[in-house]
A and B are shown apart, each in its own frame.
Chain A
């Protein structure tokens, strides 16, 4: 589709992906109408700090916002919120919003994100049981983050572990329940997971691994979490971090191809050429990983989608970055590049005891991902290699006497 034919762009979803798509389209020179529709009342904001500095109370809401709401008007972006899109009429290229109004589009960007999974337990609706997705969730949680309060975190993914770290720093008593036998089971190797398990344990977090939550007890407010094996853990506060479900209802209703995420090509185009999908709700073909499609839940993926869509609508091409992600826990900065799934070999540079090391993941002789803890050079170096489709021998990476920059420069 040539850019000349597109005069009206609607972006449904005003998270970071949707907000960036609207903004980048305008900054890139798109002169037509841009409408951004969001369900949350505030302007697009960053979610990563929610489980870090925002939870700690170090960052105010206005600093969480990507841009003040007024900037959207200044850039002639019609920002409609809180407003829910309820139907996509593909034949007539219109989006129907709550209240019945229909908005016409030439190109539609679906950036509806994901919704957190609720605990499928009796008692999950008690006071003091929280999901963790929005600023509003954290605003409810933060006043309860008082020293000595008993917190049970269900789920030991990045959100669960970041919340546990902040809670310990705030003096709470923290128990993490995880159904898998190790934390971070879905997102990293057993070795790196073990490092984080040790760190949290040293920081005073109690883990129940392989634990199956069965019931949440309490009258009006939660008092404990019971496990299937009969264990009961006292709780003043329960936070569920058990993953998200992509928000694909709109896409499914209008017949777009959806397979755990709205399926798109490398240009973020769905099975309807006038409709794009980006961010947590989309499953895109990954340019650095051959035929592989992935649905990634990360800021990088949201922003990358926004850049790709803006470039495509403007008739340009965006040079895609390798996927990246980070997690802050205590004084540890974990930086991840690439996609580790399918690795057959892991190589370490540095030692875990120094709290500064990198795990490089290989598939055959190809470097496919890195987890770097307090090792920014290893992270950036590996990211650059993956992005440019280069690799290095494991023995080269293990040689700490060679600086990362030199290794990258010599790689082919």
Chain B
């Protein structure tokens, strides 16, 4: 199963095994990784699952959709590597993915 590393803003790391087909958001929430709220459950409706994708993984995680782009436009501390983790699907190609969490989702 692909492994994903979530790094909290404090630097604390969580390594989670995520089944293919789940989203990067779901894997975090199901393993109680703090710092990803994901109140809407992945409907791209709340913008509270913001993560920074480690630059070397950017190509593999793909492009933001226009809906995601608009949602992120209003999030705090958005960077070029910002994504909504509910829009990234886990696959074997993402085994080893590293994402960092922002200071706050609100």
Contact call B32/A333, Cβ cutoff below 8 A: no
- How would you classify the secondary structure of chain B's contact residues: helix, strand, loop or mixed? loop
Residues in B with CB closer than 8 Å to A380 are 47, 70-71, 73-74
Contact call B39/A377, Cβ cutoff below 8 A: no
Task: From the candidates B22, B26, B41, B45, name the one contacting A335 in the complex (CB within 8 A).
Answer: B45
Contact call A66/B70, Cβ cutoff below 8 A: no
Contact call A326/B40, Cβ cutoff below 8 A: yes
Give a binary string over A336-380; 1 marks a CB under 8 Å from any B CB, 0 the rest.
000000000000000000000000000000000000001011001
Residues in B with CB closer than 8 Å to A405 are 73-74
Q: Does B58 contact A (CB under 8 A)?
A: no
Q: Does B59 contact A (CB under 8 A)?
A: no
Task: From the candidates A52, A324, A328, A384, name the one contacting B74 in the complex (CB within 8 A).
Answer: A384
Query: For the complex, what is the distance from the CA of A302 to the CA of B73, rounded to whole Å?
Result: 26
Query: For the complex, what is the distance from the CA of A23 to the CA of B31, rounded to whole Å?
Result: 12
Contact call A66/B29, Cβ cutoff below 8 A: yes
Give a binary string over A21-47; 1 marks a CB under 8 Å from any B CB, 0 the rest.
001000100000000000000000010
Residues in B with CB closer than 8 Å to A52 are 43
Residues in A with CB closer than 8 Å to B67 are 333, 374, 376
Query: For the complex, what is the distance from the CA of A68 to the CA of B41, rounded to whole Å?
Result: 14
Assuming the contacts A49-B41, A63-B22, A67-B32, asked whether A321 and B73 have C-beta atoms less than 8 A apart, the reply is no
- Give A393 Cβ to nearest chain B Cβ, in Å: 20
Q: How large is the interface on A (under 10, 10 to 19, 20 to 34, 35 or more residues)?
A: 20 to 34
- Give A268 Cβ to nearest chain B Cβ, in Å: 17
Residues in B with CB closer than 8 Å to A299 are 39-41
By beta carbon, the residue of chain B nearest A46 is B41
Query: For the complex, what is the distance from the CA of A303 to the CA of B32, rounded to whole Å?
Result: 15
Contact call B32/A377, Cβ cutoff below 8 A: no
- Give A388 Cβ to nearest chain B Cβ, in Å: 12
Query: For the complex, what is the distance from the CA of A169 to the CA of B43, rounded to whole Å?
Result: 19
Query: For the complex, what is the distance from the CA of A67 to the CA of B71, rounded to whole Å?
Result: 25
Among all A-B residue pairs, the 9 with the closest Cβ atoms: A376-B70, A380-B74, A326-B45, A46-B41, A377-B70, A303-B39, A376-B71, A67-B30, A376-B67
Q: Can you list 12 A-B pairs with a CB-CB distance of less than 8 A?
A: A27-B32, A48-B43, A49-B43, A63-B26, A66-B41, A335-B45, A374-B67, A377-B73, A380-B47, A380-B70, A384-B74, A405-B74
